[in-house]
Structure 1
Amino acid sequence: MGNSRGNTWSRKHKHYTVKQEEFWVFSFDEMAKYDPSCHYKLIVNKTGQEKIYYIGHSQGTTIAFIAFSTMPELAKKIKMFFALAPVATVKFSTSPLTNSDMFGKKQFLPQNSLLKWLATHVCTHQLLDDLCGNFFFLICGFDVKNLNMSRVDVYSTHCPAGTSVQNMIHWSQAVKSGELKAYDWGSKAENLVHYNQSTPPFYKVKDMTVPTALWTGGHDWLADWKDIGILLTQVTNLVYHKHIPEWEHLDFIWGLDAPHRMYKEIIKEMSAHL
């Protein structure tokens, strides 16, 4: 299971510590350009498999859309891409996370001692677990009946796990532009240094040829159905799509009905694409 750089389990660097600003100079651009290929090499070395499956949720799908559309050699090594709550554009997202006024300078929503204390001492109380559950709903959409409230304290202990402010700024840029493109460094000169052009280049999902299966939700505030509609026109090798009208963004990973409504189908599709 891969971790996005900068989260609780991915905070080491050869040269920098998390206290240095240099550590946090990354967004989902770098996560897509460098991390999937490293994950692949590690998996291949450990398992001996030449081709692998890729399952991504939310930003994990964004990383895949970019990586598999810009690195054809890596794409050839993916048997099938399973995209859960896929996010390519966020033009129509209504989540509060798209508000750039929430950001700081280096880290964004890291898991820290205060959050862990709240999770273990507040969210474990029966009268307050609804409050903790509502924190997730306010960000991702509401589906109260499908969340195991007895596990909210566990979820709150590990989530949010943190990312860079630059990553959140990149997402804010995506909301404003309505497009999937590289990080805008803020000036023509800086963009020229990074991209050899004055504006950030666009990513073309249409260039991705990996067999792809999508699962989408009708109450998802982050992967809005209007954005999904745009995405569906761009996935050129779509082999399966299931839309679940009542699901929100977290039902794909925490939903009580996820095992029989989605996980079994993923395994079935894997068996059909050996």
Structure 2
Amino acid sequence: MLNFSSVLTLFVLFFVSANASAIDKVFPGNAIINSSINDVDTICKSLVQTQGYACEEHKVTTEDGYILSVQRIPAGRSGKTANKPPVLLQHGIFVDAATWLLNSPDESLGFILADNGFDVWLANTRGTKYSSGHTSLSPNDSAYWEWSWDELVQYDLSALVQYVHYKTGQKLHYVGHSLGTLIALASFSKQEKLINMFRSAALLCPIAYLNQIQSQLTKVAAQLHMAEGLYNLGYHEFPPGWDVLGPILEKICNETGCNCSDIMPALTGPNCCVNASKASVLLKHEPQPTATKNIIHLCQMIRTGTIAMYDYGSEDENKKHYGNPNPPAYDMRNIPRELPLFLGYGGQDMLADVDDVEALLNDLKDHDKGELFQVYSEEYAHADFVLGVNASQVVYHPMISFFNLH
């Protein structure tokens, strides 16, 4: 029987330069908020300061009005102020910045980077608990949820990178997991001015192509057009209530023959190194909501095997939005060859499948020598890259060495 905690786990692990006056127009009212010492319900107070680290809460307003929460860890546990460049950490879908902080300080990437002298910035995608604000809309408004990962590329990532660049006066390193890699790759492929603000990018479980995905649960959901059905019924925020979602998931589990009482391996692959005791901690912070339209967009990628902007379902609708009958493509071959890239992927990952990652690497085959570094772990699945108890040795230490070179 598919129980509610199983469903929560499913969604948690589904995918896992300007002058001052110009910046003030882009980021209205983005003063640092106090570390919220009297407010336990913040990432700084509940997850960072409790571990002995300094933490700042920031707000960044996107061009389309979403107010994003950002946490900064400006010093290591010793109290020594960062003496290395900023690093922006971008989580995947159904989670928030907590995902980088849930293990011990010696196992969590956010803390490890701070202890290694980096100025750490933690992003929270629009729609998640701490980034639910908007200049004119409420999450109760269906219009609030009218976005897909196209908008995360165009607005969220752009605003975050410009903000960190402005606040620090430095180019930054970037770390993305799952959906956090897709929005970066899409941005890089456009070669906009934002590219000049990056030193390098580390992409964990890189998502570009999705058509060879091994998770049968995810493939069947895409083939059944589950998200489109929910959207057409008026459910623009995802996931909807359990009364709506439960019967759908039961149907998918029955059709795939999956053991949905043990959903994690069926969905993400058999994660080798996630501490089971962290499940209860994880569920205090996740799952975080996203837009149903965002799920539709990802399902379009699974069905078509392409990396393109959101397909509105008809030539006329696409012409209204793009001036063309088909959505414009994001061409991974357009990513600048000189941009240093670190890719980490695993042999057991059923979401960022090895064959799909290899297709991406083929697009990057002309990358400048020495600027494309890969870490492959045969035993790692999707969640191991952010929650694995040995990820510091397998992934993070090589990543830090890569950052130090750039």
Q: CA RMSD in A?
A: 2.1
Q: Structure 1 length as normaliser, TM-score?
A: 0.86
Contact kept, 8 Å, 1:170 with 1:183, in 2: the verdict is: yes
**2:213 corresponds to 1:84:** no
**2:315 corresponds to 1:182:** no
Which residue of 234, 245, 262 corresponds with 2:395?
262
**2:378 corresponds to 1:245:** yes
Q: Following superposition of structure 1 onto structure 2, how do residues 44-59 of structure 1 map, counting pairs within 5 Å?
A: 44-49=165-170, 51-59=171-179
Instruction: State the partner residue of 2:130.
Output: 9
SS at 2:202's partner residue?
strand
For 2:207, give the aligned amino acid.
V
Distance in structure 2 (CA, Å) of the matches to 1:74 and 1:132: 42
Contact kept, 8 Å, 1:8 with 1:110, in 2: the verdict is: no
Q: Deviations over 1:47-105 (max 9, x none)?
A: 221x1111100000000011111143111211101000000010011332341454332
Q: CA distance change for structure 1 residues 12 and 137 in 2, over 3 Å: closer, same or farther? A: farther
Gaps of 5+ in 1: 113-130
Instruction: State the partner residue of 1:66.
Output: 186
Distance in structure 2 (CA, Å) of the matches to 1:29 and 1:245: 32
For 1:41, give the aligned amino acid.
Q
CA offset at residue 136 of structure 1?
A: 3.2
SS at 1:179's partner residue?
coil
Distance in structure 1 (CA, Å) of the matches to 2:308 and 2:277: 40
CA offset at residue 229 of structure 1?
A: 1.2
Instruction: State the partner residue of 1:106.
Output: 236
What is the percentage of aligned positions where both structures have the same residue? 31
Distance in structure 2 (CA, Å) of the matches to 1:133 and 1:217: 24
Which residue of 267, 270, 284 corresponds with 1:142?
270
Contact kept, 8 Å, 2:191 with 2:334, in 1: the verdict is: no
Which structure has more RCO (C-alpha within 8 Å, separation ≥ 6)?
A: 1
Instruction: State the partner residue of 2:148.
Output: 27
CA offset at residue 133 of structure 1?
A: 9.7
CA offset at residue 201 of structure 1?
A: 1.0
Contact kept, 8 Å, 1:8 with 1:111, in 2: the verdict is: no
Contact kept, 8 Å, 1:139 with 1:221, in 2: the verdict is: yes
Contact kept, 8 Å, 2:239 with 2:292, in 1: the verdict is: no
Contact kept, 8 Å, 2:165 with 2:197, in 1: the verdict is: no
Distance in structure 1 (CA, Å) of the matches to 2:241 and 2:265: 18
Q: Structure 2 length as normaliser, TM-score?
A: 0.59
Q: Deviations over 1:129-180 (max 9, x none)?
A: xx9994433321112x411112110112222212110000001110110010
CA offset at residue 111 of structure 1?
A: 10
Contact kept, 8 Å, 1:55 with 1:83, in 2: the verdict is: yes
Contact kept, 8 Å, 1:132 with 1:152, in 2: the verdict is: no
Distance in structure 1 (CA, Å) of the matches to 2:397 and 2:326: 43
- The count of aligned residue pairs is 253
For 1:230, give the aligned amino acid.
A
Contact kept, 8 Å, 1:195 with 1:201, in 2: the verdict is: yes
Instruction: State the partner residue of 1:122.
Output: none
Distance in structure 2 (CA, Å) of the matches to 1:188 and 1:111: 33
Distance in structure 2 (CA, Å) of the matches to 1:158 and 1:138: 22
Contact kept, 8 Å, 1:53 with 1:79, in 2: the verdict is: yes
CA offset at residue 6 of structure 1?
A: 1.8
Gaps of 5+ in 2: 1-121, 243-258
SS at 1:76's partner residue?
helix
Contact kept, 8 Å, 1:141 with 1:249, in 2: the verdict is: yes
SS at 1:18's partner residue?
coil
For 1:139, give the aligned amino acid.
L
For 2:343, give the aligned amino acid.
L
Q: CA distance change for structure 1 residues 225 and 80 in 2, over 3 Å: closer, same or farther? A: same
**2:346 corresponds to 1:217:** yes
Which residue of 161, 173, 195 corresponds with 1:40?
161
Contact kept, 8 Å, 2:124 with 2:130, in 1: the verdict is: yes
